[in-house]
Amino acid sequence: MAKRAVKLRAKERDGVIDIKCLLSHPMETGLRKDKKSGKIIPKHFIQNVIAEVNGELFMQADINSTISKNPYLRIKVEGSKGDKVTVTWTDNMGVSGSSTEPSK
């Protein structure tokens, strides 16, 4: 079974949605060498993360190769139970991952 690109949990409390998300990605800097071949592992990292509530963009972050493998983000935004939360990332190779969950 393949990993989900984004594991997402959104819980509402007192009008604020607490969003916790784990972005599944290798995040290679382009500086490491493969131990067996000795060749440099090419850059492969998340460049952009966006977050939306009910289709409305509330956060956009440009990140780079200095972030660790499988980055974890925690975001808070105004909202209510049942609001649809979406987190999407795009990497330097054009690959993207996304997840949508209703807030609980």
pLDDT digits (tens, 9 = 90+) for 44-102: 999 999 999 999 999 999 998 888 999 999 999 999 999 999 999 999 999 999 999 99
**CA 30 to mean position of chain CA atoms:** 20
In angstroms, the CA 22 to CA 37 distance is 31
In angstroms, the CA 41 to CA 46 distance is 16
CATH topology of domain 6-102: Immunoglobulin-like (2.60.40)
CB 45 within 8 A of CB 56: no
Indicate the pTM of the whole model: 0.88
Q: What is the dihedral of CA 69, 90, 94, 4, to 10 degrees?
A: 60
**CA 44 to mean position of chain CA atoms:** 14
